[in-house]
Structure formats: structure tokens, C-alpha cells
Amino acid sequence: MQKLAALAGTVIGAGLMYALDPASGSRRRALARDQLLSAKRRLHDATVSTWSDARNRGQGLWASLRARVAPDQPTDDVLEQRIRSSIGRLLRFPRLVKVHAHDAMAILEGAVPADEAAALIRHVRAVRGVAEVDNRLDVYERPEDLPGVQPPFPPRRPGPRFQLMQRNWAPSIRALVGALGTVLFLAASRRGLVVGSAMRLIGALAVLRAATNEPIEDRLGRQPRGAEVPEEPERQLSESDGRSYQAPR
């Protein structure tokens, strides 16, 4: 107990000497005050954004549950707009697809690449209010065969991804994963050596991922997926006669 009190006194004394130093004490106190104010502002912004995101997700989930229970019979115009807005994020060439609705039936006309046709039909069937899909699409194997389309062609759009598989997480997801990682790390003390070590590692990685909002592989210095490694430019060395040659690597 005495050793702990002595250690605490030493730490407090060192802190007072650091803050009350006649030469640099005022600058250090101002710097510490600015850092505390900045941390307070960041904490407030993070709390507000997390609460707002969680509230919006809760309202969306509640609305989705109510829509599944209550019958949804939108008008043809409303259903058409609902389908158009949803497929616009799915297709590379959404302007080539014409959408009509009649008595809960979605009628699809136009042209679509072969690699997007099946996903489009499944997506339209899942739209709320659609009971049946009438597929009248012309399917083309190659994008260059589509009518009225000129290169360069946009890349294929990725479909909806699970939240945890995305690169950037929403504030509420970060808070949830961070809390679960903390609980897992603390609960590891009641486990054996192997299981406890694994739980601590997983918990620490979860907290790190939630705190930084960056993939773990990026934090470890690895190249992100899909990123191109820049090529090193060729170095040229000049000789006395003006000729140049490529330097060996």
C-alpha cells in the first residue's frame, strides 16, 4: 500500500512539475487545454452521429416490419417509381431498361447485359408491392452489343454487401462492434490460456477496427484489395558522352 501511495505521489509530482514549469508551463497547459477541448468536441460529434444512425436504423427496421405485416397495395405509378429508384443502383445502363407496373405486376422491357439479367429479375421480385414480374428484356452477352452504348463502359456495380464486409462502417455498427470486442476481451480472463488468448486477440482487433474505421489489413501495412501498386519510374543515368542507360535495380 505504501509503495502504491509513493508511486502515485511520484506521478502527481512529475505532472505538476511538467505543467508548472516556469519556462514552458504556460505553453504546455494551453496545449493540454486545446487537446481536451478537441477530444470533447470529437466525443460529442461521435455520440450525436452514433445516436442519429442508430435511431434511423431502428425507424427503418420498424417500418420494414410494419410493411411485412400490413398489406401494401401501392398504385401503379408509385410502384413504377419504387422499382426505378431501386434498379438505378444495380445496373450499369439503367436508362436502357423500361419499367411499367399494372395490378402489382412489374413489366420489364429494354436491353440488359447477360451478367446482370438474373440479378435484376431477383431484385425486382423482392421490391415491396411486386407480386409478379413479366420479363420482356433483350439480353446481350457483351456490353458493346447493347443498342446506343459506346465505350468506355462503366465497371459492373457491386451488389448490396453486408455491413461488416464494407470498408467504412456506420457509426452505430462501430459502436456495437467496439462494445462486443470490449466484452469479449474482458471475458477472456475466465477462460483457459489458449481460448483466453484467442478471445483477447479477437476482442482487441474488433476494438481497433471499430475505433479506426479502417480494415485491419490496412492498419497492418498491407496493400488494400483492388489497389494498384505504382510502378517505380525508370532511373536514367547519364554518362560523360551524353548516352543514357537504365540503372540496374
Whether 123 is in a domain gets the answer yes
Whether 58 is in a domain gets the answer no
Whether 204 is in a domain gets the answer yes
In Å, how far are 22, 34, 62, 63, 196 from 69, measured between CA atoms? 71, 53, 11, 10, 44
136 and 168 in a single domain? The answer is: no
Whether 191 is in a domain gets the answer yes
CA dihedral over 213, 215, 218, 223, signed as positive or negative: negative
Whether 88 is in a domain gets the answer yes
- pLDDT 10s digits, 176-232: 899 999 999 888 888 888 888 899 999 999 898 888 888 877 766 655 444 544 454
Domain residues for the domain of 98 are 76-145
| pLDDT, position 99 | 92
81 and 133 in a single domain? The answer is: yes
- pLDDT 10s digits, 39-71: 888 888 888 888 888 888 888 778 777 766 766
Residue ending a domain, choose from 113, 145, 177: 145
- CATH number of the domain residue 90 falls in: 3.30.1340.30
132 and 191 in a single domain? The answer is: no
Burial class (CB in 10 A: 0-12, 13-18, 19+), 168: exposed
Query: How far apart are the C-alpha atoms of 80 and 74, rounded to whole Å?
Result: 10
Q: Are 28 and 21 in contact (CB under 8 A)?
A: yes
| pLDDT, position 100 | 92
Residue with cell 450525436: 48
Q: Which of 49-63, 69-83, 122-136 has the highest mean pLDDT?
A: 122-136
pLDDT at 159 over 80: no
Q: Give 78's contacts (C-beta < 8 A, 6+ positions apart).
A: 129
Whether 85 is in a domain gets the answer yes
113 and 171 in a single domain? The answer is: no
Q: Name the domain count of the chain.
A: 2
134 and 175 in a single domain? The answer is: no
Whether 26 is in a domain gets the answer no
| pLDDT, position 237 | 44
Q: Which is more confidently placed, 24 or 18?
A: 24
Query: Using omega within 30 degrees of 0 as the cis cutoff, is the peptide bond preceding 74 cis?
Result: no
Q: What is the pTM of this model?
A: 0.47
Whether 48 is in a domain gets the answer no
- How far from the centroid of its chain's Cα atoms is residue 205's Cα? 17
| pLDDT, position 65 | 76
Strands across the sheet containing 132-140: 97-102, 105-113, 132-140
